[in-house]
Chain A
């Protein structure tokens, strides 16, 4: 039997694993210990994406589709899995998938193959040069390693003509860039790849990805040094939001961070850290005191260098569009903020966005709320519910029976809380939020309940259920307990999840806001693409933007909803995230999404006072004063036409 025949025979064993792997969306949560279960031991030891659960998913798909052939490195990757089950626990919490089955299938497949099947990948000059800089272990041109970066920096059709390098220091990064520049080798840095995973699913894929050359996987630069006296932390680019926040909390402080799995430095440089805490802490450049960068010539730049021309400056018009970074950030010194003992989360539910914005803008202008946002019932449901089905029913009940479409979400101290309570008709306090989190499966099961149907006919169902006598009944009826919520998981994982949900932080809304472990559930077996951007915080404009994005989403038959609206600069500016959800396995879904992206961008560019999210990319190191003052004028039809032609060359290229 020839090598190829042998492979074809064995490949059928991978079918079930491929079905699981296809549902993976690269949320990157398997690389952080957010449940206290530990992380994949093989990934921790070897570093490359291939050794992590999400990488094995790409490998299985690539093997099955003949994109790669077995190599000696593949054998090492497959057998590095200890079948410890950690990946199942982590991934099940976030995406409801069981990646261990994928790892097992890969291991079995590889070990059934004859030794003669495995190829050794030849070395070349570039590989040798990169090895001389970072050491033999931390660079590879093996297709099994390369392919694991598919969808998080390279496109599925990009082939495997790449090198992956994992430098440990800024100096190593600089040496590699010098080498790449001299020999005309393209390169691109990568954090955890989650944002890239989102954009690679769209028509912008070619503009944001690497077509060949050197992939910088920056995970190894993970220094964290807390300076308690000066309330700062020096961090390497490999430090995730979760890791920094955990360390900051140990010292009684908090950092402004993005989603748990995001690399903090990368997030500062890319979109400036978009967060509900921006109400108090500001955005990217407000939160670092120094940054170390490597420029395109391999020079190391420190923001604190005396002879550096203003590194915080940029122009704010629509030609300032760049979809890949011009420098590689390797370190930053970030500010840490105080934590108050009386912090509490208070949520104020509303039927209409108009009313929610009235309250939120009032609070933002008066700088009330450490963290402040308007969030949709869609977001709340997705975040707190353990499965997509439960989230869907939870949202249905919230919208149709309780008339609860939006909420003003405030993390406040006792003084701010008084103001919120005075201004709000109804509040959902920490205790009720704990009830809704632990009781979400039972709450969702009330979809056909006669009681809720009757309640919906009340003049103010929200008040009746969250502030009236029904409140106690609801709490009892939902039987909110770790045991109850654990029942929705597979039987073998129920004990584990009962313990997880017994931890106070899992129902502590302030902690959940600070550590941001729940947003990755938006990528639960399907993808989403964000629209919107920064806008002057004018209620009418925000509502018009929301309505326009909804209309276009509906037109293209995309499930869509407002995500959240956060605030900056004492309520002068708002960030609006509106989400289009789509099936990443369905080409028609991609086509509809891409049409919606083009249409929404055209409409957004005409709105005076709006900076679409695409125009914020790689601007986080700049002062917001340069980006937002003044906010751009909308484009005229002629200007829009020119821009459209440019977009055409981009999409076509």
Chain B
């Protein structure tokens, strides 16, 4: 188990997605990219983001950065929320769908397309749940 948003988290996350998630069955062969922006990370109240790109259900990029933008790639979707919300989602206390409906996670991009991604992305979230149990208080 590793700390959310750490380099180890990215590495193990990549490995987990590649090895454990079937591109067709679990990830529905989706091609998309998303930027997850995590605000108000304790203890120093910083913002970080992670960029995730899938092509035909295969993981192409999974990168973590500081700040609220990622200049190297332009994501199809941006999902923005505070650390507490991401923590709840990754701890399985709140589903991705409910976080969006509650306005805790704000989605930028085509909402109809985003809707189609909810189910496969839930699979990614489930996998990230498996590798993360350390959070800042």
Chain A positions within 8 Å of B, measured between CB atoms, are: 181-186, 206-207, 211, 296, 315, 317, 319-326, 642-643, 645-647, 649-650, 652-653
Contacts and interface: CB of A to CB of B under 8 A. Distances in A.
Given A319-B111, A323-B101, A645 B118 contact: yes
Interface stretch (B10-18, B59-67, B68-76, B88-96): B88-96
Given A184-B83, A324-B102, A653 B94 contact: yes
A325 B101 CA distance: 9
A523 to B, nearest CB: 25
Nearest to B98: A653
A324 B115 contact: no
Chain A binding surface, main DSSP class: loop
B91 to A, nearest CB: 12
Interface of B: 39-40, 42, 45, 82-85, 87, 93-98, 101-104, 106, 111-112, 114-116, 118-119, 122
B97 to A, nearest CB: 4
20 contacts: A183-B40, A183-B42, A184-B42, A184-B84, A186-B85, A206-B98, A211-B94, A315-B111, A317-B111, A319-B115, A321-B101, A324-B101, A324-B103, A325-B103, A645-B118, A649-B97, A650-B97, A652-B95, A653-B95, A653-B98
B28 to A, nearest CB: 10
B40 A184 contact: yes
A181 B103 contact: no
Given A323-B101, A326-B106, 13 more contacts: A182-B45, A184-B42, A296-B103, A315-B111, A317-B111, A319-B111, A319-B115, A322-B103, A642-B115, A649-B95, A649-B96, A649-B118, A653-B96
A178 B37 CA distance: 18
B119 A646 contact: yes
A207 B87 contact: no
A193 to B, nearest CB: 17
A182 B103 contact: no
Contacts of A182: 40, 45
Contacts of B42: 183-184
B118 A646 contact: yes
Contacts of B96: 649, 653
Contacts of A206: 98
A181 B83 CA distance: 10
A296 B106 CA distance: 11
A638 to B, nearest CB: 10
Contact of B122 (A184, A186, A211, A649): A649
Q: Which of B83, B84, B96, B114 has the most CB of A within 10 A?
A: B84
B35 to A, nearest CB: 18
A317 B102 contact: no
A597 to B, nearest CB: 15
